[in-house]
Amino acid sequence: MSKQKNQYVCNDCGGVTKKWLGQCPHCQQWNTLTEVKEVVPSRPGRSQRFSGYAGVDAPEVKSLNEITPEQISRQPVGISEFDRVLGGGLVHGAVTLLGGDPGIGKSTLLLQTSVKCTSFGKVLYVTGEESLEQVTLRSKRLGLSQEVDLRLLAETQVERILKAAEIERPKVLIVDSIQTIFTESLQSAPGGVAQVRESAAILTQFAKRTGICLFLVGHVTKEGALAGPRVLEHMVDTVLYFEGEQDSRFRLLRAVKNRFGAANELGIFAMTETGLKTVSNPSAIFLSRYEDLQPGSLVMVAWEGTRPLLVEVQALVDEAHSPNPRRIAVGLDQNRLAMLLAVLNRHGGVASYDQDVFINVVGGMKITETAADLALLLACVSSLRGKALSQELIIFGEVGLSGEIRPVQRGLERIKEAAKHGFTQAIVPFANCPKQAVEGIEVIGVKHLEDALAAL
């Protein structure tokens, strides 16, 4: 016998409670509990629950030194930036979750990927949001080859999808999107927390059992996080996010989680009439060369995943016309900006308590590392004083609360990347100064914020 059971599931952490609460008791978030209705089997009797383990085979336990690790074989997709984000290519049995804003290019990228993957195996593309004719029209608009053996399926029930996959036996399975898929074992509507979680779990188990490469497309909320419980991200092997502004032609694909490669790896694409194209020189799109020097603008070297990127940071410091000066940062942490301005006032002697400060990272880039601290402060000083900095100057370094300049990871690689792009001078933490001179660039090492201001 089965009965219907009402539960409340948290949209953020996936925690389950028996009644509605204003605050989730698991993650302490407010107004995140959603009612779900599930059909569960009746409670087993005492003889079933406490029958013991007499009929269960004991699992095999091994020591660490008895296990010989196998080399993970990868199959490159054929799209260089996508392969970089994946860690080198597709892994046997890997599950990848791709999220992003509507219209940013998720389906376009996966359709291009599916056509590329037909060169080494059969691909099954499952669409739950479009008809087969719409997918075909988009492939023709993108100029993709129509001669490849790409299998298409318009279905939303997970049991029927798995039945078709068992018949087709593809190497790659793409499901677009997981929010439209449902399982008949649950009574809730597609897109609900329970349906998304259960459907993803069934598809993931099938991928691990058969060894196919599974791609899941996920919708995002207005805050930019994947819709549904966070347990969805823990199920899969790789989580990819599309970043970038809607009015910009550039798209950034970031690996938030990757069990088979480097996390926080970044792939850069350009959206064209024929789909997403890889950007061969990513640093060039984040730099702007001006004929006249502009105050408040300078270039720093950010480290994203496994490579350095040159990024332009712009600052505008203007007189505040309200009792509370504004601190706005686009592409950087706003709270860290307020903290660094206090350090600049205390240890650099440059006050900004009566100034509005605006910070922008060119190209829609989001920088989370602390290596941008020194560049951010020197850009603010340049804008405040109205003095432009040299276009051949590169800056990076972390700033501590006592005004000291701390070293950052891979300092030598950052300096060499700047020299390769024609920069002739660098202000870096003293601990990051190379032991041997780098050809074509003068390196100035600073230990304190006052030293960096004096070097300008």
Residue 153 tokens, joined: 């399926």
Is 102 annotated to bind a ligand? Reply is yes
352 marked as binding residue:
no
CB 446 within 8 A of CB 432: no
The distance from CA 434 to its chain's CA centroid, rounded to whole angstroms, is: 32
Is 107 annotated in a binding site? The answer is yes
* Residue 69 annotated as lining a ligand binding site: no
Q: Is 103 marked as a binding-site residue?
A: yes
Give yes or no for a contact between 228 and 236, defined as CB atoms under 8 angstroms apart.
no
Question: What's the Cα-to-Cα distance from 158 to each of 11, 128, 216, rounded to whole Å?
Answer: 21, 11, 13
Residue 359 marked ligand-binding: no
Closest CA to 152 of 109, 119, 102, 118: 118
Instruction: Return the beta strands (E) in 223-374 as ranges.
Output: 238-243, 250-258, 266-272, 275-278, 297-304, 307-319, 327-330, 355-361
101 annotated binding-site participant = yes
- Peptide bond connecting 283 to the previous residue in cis, omega within 30 degrees of 0: no
Is residue 106 a known part of a binding site?
yes
Query: How far is CA 336 from each of CA 342, 376, 377, 399, rounded to the nearest angstrom?
Result: 10, 10, 11, 11
Residue 205, CA distances (Å) to 86, 97, 177, 240, 440 in order:
20, 14, 17, 20, 54
Contacts of 72 (CB under 8 A, 6+ apart): 91, 92, 260
Q: Which residues are annotated as a binding site for ATP?
A: 100-107
Binding residues: 100-107
